[in-house]
Amino acid sequence: MKRQILQAGEAVLRQEARSLSRDEILDRPVQNLIEAMTNAMRDAPGVGLAAPQIGHPLQLAVIEDRPEYIQKLAPEHVAERKRRPVPFHVLINPKLIVEDAEAVEFFEGCLSVAGFTAIVPRHMRVRVECLNERAEAVEISADGWYARILQHEIDHLNGILYIDRMKSRSFSTQDNYMRYWK
């Protein structure tokens, strides 16, 4: 079953998601949800998807930045953003720790704010403590674009959209971004 990605204005996107217990994580409904989220993220296509984006207020996100997404970009954009492939993984009950307070600004989009983009400052290096889909403790250290993806998806779990952090004068349709900014 194809899942619809909810758009800005839906109440679930603005509430704090609840944590999952070990038993819930290992139970079939959450495992099915992870599979549905993975399919929705890849179908979109996107590099991350949080459970609230498909109507489930749970501390759960999936992430994957595939090589074919990066190959479409200009090499200078890839280098500037420190973007490299990120294998598929699941974040459950994540805790974000900023490791480098330096903020970098790049255009960012969101599957729940379809058709728009804006400049968003994000920390350059972060660490995330979370559980994976097997309810095992995981620690992730990330920098560059991967750190941005993690911050973006964890924001979703706290009821925050990138439009809350954006440089408002940069807010643009994707078409106008391609015409004027790119």
- Residue-wise DSSP of 7-37: -TT-GGGGSPPBP--HHHHHSHHHHHHHHHH
Q: What is the four-CA torsion angle of 84, 88, 93, 96, rounded to 10 degrees?
A: -10
The CATH architecture that domain 11-181 belongs to is Alpha-Beta Complex (3.90)
Q: Catalytic residue at 16?
A: no
Give 51-78 pLDDT, tens digit per residue. Answer: 999 999 999 999 999 999 999 999 999 9
pTM: 0.96
pLDDT for position 182: 72
* Alpha helices per DSSP H over the chain: 22-26, 28-43, 67-71, 75-81, 144-157, 174-176
β-pairing, 60-65 vs 172-173, is unpaired
Q: Is the dihedral of CA 58, 158, 83, 91 positive or negative?
A: negative
The active-site residue out of 64, 108, 133, 153 is 153
Q: Which among 127, 115, 113 has a CA at the least distance from the CA of 162? A: 113
Give 84-106 pLDDT, tens digit per residue. Answer: 999 999 999 999 999 988 899 99
Amino acid residing at 122:
R
The residue assigned the tokens 């500037």 is 80
pLDDT for position 9: 97
In angstroms, rounded to a whole number, what is the distance separating the alpha carbons of residues 3 and 181? 32
